[in-house]
Structure 1
Amino acid sequence: MDDPNTPGFDKGFDFATGYGLIKATDAVEQVRFPNSYVKDLDLKPLCSPNPQLVRNWQINNPNPFEVPVTWQVSGTNQQSALTAPPGKSTFSTSPSYVYGIPLPQLVLLTWQDNFLFDHLDLAFSTTAVCGKDVPSAANSDQNLTASGKTLQNGKPALTEVYPNPSDGMFKLYLSSDQQQDATMTLYSADGRQLMTRQIAGATNVVDIDATSYKPGIYFLKLVQGNQVKTIKLVRR
């Protein structure tokens, strides 16, 4: 850019145009952000020498740099923050029981991207024994939430929730084979207790109003006598 008040074409600084024109493209190319973009992490269950006492987990970090993460066992106070190095790293959790009956263990892994948005991955634990089993659908804790699980006398103690997913109104259908009082507790995906309710033993259908909660994943825990079941609810 030239100062018209001086002879010839000016180079460098002059009092009319300063240092000249800023090249926006060159300036943007100097921004470091694209080189440190955070790719999604992956969480998977691992076998354990003794799944009744310890559950193992693996984080796969595909980035060439460390990523701060937080993990939490849904519905419990088990949680921790750590820094996942590039590649694979592991951590361990403890299984939960009610009256000696194992509860399904679901772990949520969260981290932030370059825009400080939260990202989430989640996985069910496994009862696979190292050196004997390989983690699979057959030994996944997700089976503990299945409606056909028999817990006593070959009969399901608790049935299911329909519709699921729902826009907010769910119906809980309890087994007519059980006449005991039940306790229903609703948890958010991060383990916060949202509501609890006592259900009389003669009741077979219970309305669950979740319209006041945001769309997402929730967990309903039912305790009836010595029988326990956890059901994943999807609020659309």
Structure 2
Amino acid sequence: DKFIGCVKATLGIKKLAEKNDIDCYVYNDIDQATFRIAGCRAGFYPQWFNEHLSVLVPEADIAAGLITYIMKLISGKNVNFIEPFHIEDDFGTFAGGHAGPNDHNDPKWQDNVIIARDVRFAKTSWKYAGAPFAWNRFSPGMKTVAGLYEEDGKYKLITFQAESLPGEHLLATYSHSIFRPVVPVKELFERILRIGATQHYAIVDGDIREELEDFAEIMGFEFYNIK
């Protein structure tokens, strides 16, 4: 029943996006109304979004949805949504990922996807508490990481490169990976903090920083390539 409930919630998102021809679906996956109506949050990422060069992002972050959409248009690839969890300075890495639907549809990396319980909500009273979701260890390889932020009416686009490392699933409830940035990890986040940013980023395979710089110039955004 819980699996079917989660699938229904996911199909509801897909049908709403399809009906309204949505380019960027910013989903408030922790809204109480979601749980009252659907019984759980959607735990899967409909392939419809990839087929229509659209994106689905969690946690009601419009700016993060916009950078995810921009990176989708530029790259045409599967784009994922993360926030840094903790720094492991001894290893030069940080853990990053996010709960909620996250694109798990890359056909080359289906072995990285496990159907698992959403343990964050397993002990709640919602109808489908603990419903399964697509638990994704992001694909290994070098990624472009980017975030878009507003401050006092000005927009800042911050980007850097980080390698997603191969490994087992580690962080329950969160699609995730361990990342090794090109810039030393403490220096990286110190520089980001000085610029000013929130916690959300999009990631995509390869290096699209030049394209992001061109986009920022066209839009009149401040651009920060941390390298």
TM-score past 0.5 threshold? no
The structure with the greater share of residues assigned to helix is: 2
| Rg larger in structure | 1
TM-score by length of 1: 0.27
The structure with the greater share of residues assigned to strand is: 1
